[in-house]
Amino acid sequence: MTQFRTDPVGEDIAVIRPDGRLNMVAAPELRDTVTRAVQSGRPRVVVDLSAVDFMDSSGLGALIASLKTARQAGGDLRLAGVGEQVALVLQLSNVDRILKPYANADDAFRN
């Protein structure tokens, strides 16, 4: 089962760290976790995928829906710590053009 940890950073950033598989079982929880972070006043969201060893199309859809949630609140969503399998899914779907992966959570909102 995938676990989600949310760490506040600064005044308006939340770093969400899923641990496990980002699939059709975990995707709704990711969307809910991002929505809660945005509603709590943290519209700038980093999803740190360094502990995710597998992502399917449901996980991809959850990331895109979460990006929309963050942007509608005036923020953004960025990815960090993307592993090889997740990077392949992002590349094959061309989502890496929309959600550019960063090396780590600290770099995601640095620029």
pLDDT in tens, 64-105: 999 999 999 999 999 999 999 999 999 999 999 999 899 999
Q: Is residue 111 part of a domain?
A: no
In total, how many domains does the chain have? Answer: 1
pLDDT the model gives residue 111: 58
pLDDT in tens, 35-57: 999 999 999 999 999 999 999 99
Q: Is residue 110 part of a domain?
A: no
- For residue 80, give its domain range: 3-104
Question: Model's pTM, two decimal places?
Answer: 0.95
For residue 34, give the CATH number of its domain. 3.30.750.24
Widest pairwise Cα distance in the chain:
35
- For residue 110, what are its two tokens? 């640095």
Of 83, 59, 69, nearest to 4 (Cα)? 59
